[in-house]
Structure 1
């Protein structure tokens, strides 16, 4: 019975080590820039409401796993932005990811990387408030439709769970079989 408990504890410890990997540590440091400089450096600038955040970070990912931010866009100042626009960001602020609260309005400065729009902590994006943007550009309406949205895939969680259950069952069966042979 002790061996069975030890095997169960070892399985749980192994699962914890595999799924709770904190990843590597890094820090984000930003260079000072004005809003006009951020506008010039950005590939796209728009104002909109953050409606959803998917992916990135714990419990089963690395802090460097990308997250998708989904915005309902009101005004576009630069670039081709859809009415519902998705952007990628790093999964943690330590890796310069941007993690604003969902449901609030933002002025977003995005850049192209690998053919996809990204946003980061250092890009100049900020909550919309009473002050007007500090760059000289006229707002236009967004392009109709959706762009850059990620689909949440849950199958990796199911596969990981099934493998964990199978490994636990195999360990129990093996130990039980050894125990029964010793009794005979």
Structure 2
């Protein structure tokens, strides 16, 4: 009976994924140079696909790249378990995006972070340090 139960459970189980990222430490020029686009923006739309989400942002402050756009679509994995961000319409985010497969993408393993104080991973000090660094970069 016990063997039957174990086999039954194994047959029902699905593949699971978990997000695991290398700690990034404080932002520096090397990390800054890894990203094609950096901006703060407000989420205005989310289009869910099978494996990804396309998040449309209204750009508020441009720190790098995307100089002439007022809106931009950023792709992320559909689930946090596969390192996708989980924005909600109306939220403010600081986005660090890289180009892959002709699309700008981000993940939990980048410096991307919610600016919402109620977010599970909100870190005021880290957010402030990132923004101070980025402001210094755009001032030259």
In the alignment, does 2:44 pair up with 1:44? Answer: no
Q: Does 1:138 align with 2:138?
A: yes
Larger Rg: 1
Unaligned regions of 5+ residues in structure 1, if any? 1-21, 140-184
TM-score (norm 1): 0.54
CA displacement at 1:97 relative to structure 2: 0.7
1:50–1:71 contact (8 Å) kept in structure 2:
yes
Local SS of the residue matching 1:54: strand
Per residue, is there more strand in 1 or in 2? Answer: 2
TM-score, length-normalised on structure 2? 0.69
Please give the per-residue CA displacement for 1:123-157, whole angstroms capped at 9, x wherever unaligned: 11112368361423217xxxxxxxxxxxxxxxxxx
1:35 alignment partner, SS class: coil
Q: In the alignment, what sits opposite 1:67?
A: 53
Unpaired segments ≥5 residues, structure 2: 1-12, 116-123
1: CA distance, partners of 2:77 / 2:87: 12
Pair 1:87–1:26, CA change in 2 (3 A): same
Q: Give the length in aligned residue pairs.
A: 111
**Alpha-carbon displacement from aligned partner over 1:8-28 (angstroms, at most 9, x marks no partner):** xxxxxxxxxxxxxx9731111
Q: 1:23 to 1:80 in 2, by over 3 A?
A: farther
In structure 2, the CA distance between the partners of 1:25 and 1:105, relative to structure 1 (3 Å rule), is same
- The alignment's C-alpha RMSD in Å is 2.3
Q: Deviation digits for residues 42-87 of structure 1, max 9, x if unmatched?
A: 111001101111114xxxx4xxx11100100011111125211001
For 1:88 and 1:96, how far apart are their aligned partners in 2? Answer: 12
Q: 2:17 aligns with which of 26, 31, 52?
A: 26
